[in-house]
Structure formats: C-alpha cells, structure tokens
A = this chain, B = another copy of it.
Amino acid sequence: MVPKGDNRHRWVCAACETIHYQNPKVVVGCVPEQDGRILLCKRAIQPRYGFWTVPAGFMELGETMAEGAARETLEEACAEVSIGHLFACVDVVQAGQVHVFFTGELLGGYGVGEETLEADLFEKDQIPWDEIAFPSGYFALKKYLEDDGINNGTHLHWVRKKRS
C-alpha cells in the first residue's frame, strides 16, 4: 500500500501498521596494502563462491563507513588495517546497494575469516583479474592501482551510470 503522504508502495504490517521502509544498503570495503602488496580474500560464501575480493560487507548501525570497512577486514581476513581515505563510490542498482571503498594500510598479519576460504597478499602485477568476484571491486582495484591509491588522498572515482 502507499502510506498517507508518501508516493510509493511500502511494506506495511497488517497488524500494527508499522511501515517497513526498504532502502539501498551500504557496502563498505577497503584495499589493504602492505609493502606494495594487496590483501585479497577468496570467498567461502555465495554469491561468487571461490572468487577473490577485497574485504567488504554491509555497513552496520552505529559505525562510520571507515569503521565498517575496518571491521569487515577484521572479520573476513582477521587483519587489522589503518583506514586511509574514501576513494570510490559505486551504484549497484540491481542489488539495491551502494559500494564504498577506502584505502587501508595492513598493520600486521592476516588469516581466514568465517566467510573466507583463503587470504593472500598479491603483488600489484599479479592481481587475479579474471577471478575477481564483483565488478565494483574490480573497478575499485583498477582505480586504486591507477592512482597509487595509498598515496593519493582526495581523488574520487564515481561512475555515472548510463541507464535506459
């Protein structure tokens, strides 16, 4: 139904009339770098099981985007990072998501989180481009490397979507 004063259909509880708004979710991630190498995780979950990704996941209430990116890196790669700066925003309309990427300095070691099969440091000329899980992460990694991302602070990459 369309609630009073609104112009869109919303999910409304038939019992208590609570309106359950559904809006895009924010996915936050980072590109962890250490000694010129990039930390990637091989996904242990669907979608894209077995493909590589930068650490990223759904932002939670009560945290900043940067805190979320650091938390996801800890959860997925058991790795502590010092977040640098926001460098890419990507609309993922079909999934109802916005993906936001940060630079990050990998501070120590890394491991394998619950949603990860394997984590590894890759030389910048050995990124497994054909096995990157998602276009947004592919875009972020490409732009990161073009920029020398860890050293460039305020250059934003945002894709103007051409939609029919």
Instruction: Tell me the A residues contacting B by CB distance below 8 Å.
Output: 5, 8, 20-26, 58-67, 85-87, 89, 91, 93, 96, 98, 100, 114, 154-158, 160-161, 163
Q: What residues of chain B lie closer than 8 Å to A58, measured between beta carbons? A: 21, 23
Contact present for B85 and A158 (CB under 8 Å): yes
Contact present for A156 and B86 (CB under 8 Å): yes
The 3 residue pairs across chains A and B that have the minimum distance between CB atoms: A156-B156, A64-B91, A86-B158
Contact present for A66 and B160 (CB under 8 Å): yes
Q: What residues of chain B lie closer than 8 Å to A161, measured between beta carbons? A: 64, 66
* Copies of this chain assembled into the complex: 2
Q: What residues of chain B lie closer than 8 Å to A21, measured between beta carbons? A: 25, 58
Which residue in chain B gives the minimum CB-CB distance to A160?
B66
Q: In the complex the two chains form, what is the Cα distance from A22 to B25 in whole Å?
A: 9
Contact present for A24 and B26 (CB under 8 Å): yes
Contact present for B86 and A65 (CB under 8 Å): no
Contact present for B22 and A20 (CB under 8 Å): no
Q: How near does chain B come to A101, taking the closest CB pair, in angstroms?
A: 11
Which residue in chain B gives the minimum CB-CB distance to A7?
B75
Contact present for B91 and A61 (CB under 8 Å): no
A-B contact pairs, 29 of them (CB 8 A): A5-B114, A20-B20, A23-B25, A23-B26, A23-B60, A23-B61, A24-B25, A24-B26, A24-B59, A26-B26, A26-B98, A59-B98, A61-B96, A62-B93, A63-B93, A64-B161, A65-B91, A65-B98, A66-B160, A67-B163, A85-B158, A85-B160, A86-B89, A87-B156, A89-B89, A89-B100, A98-B100, A154-B156, A156-B156
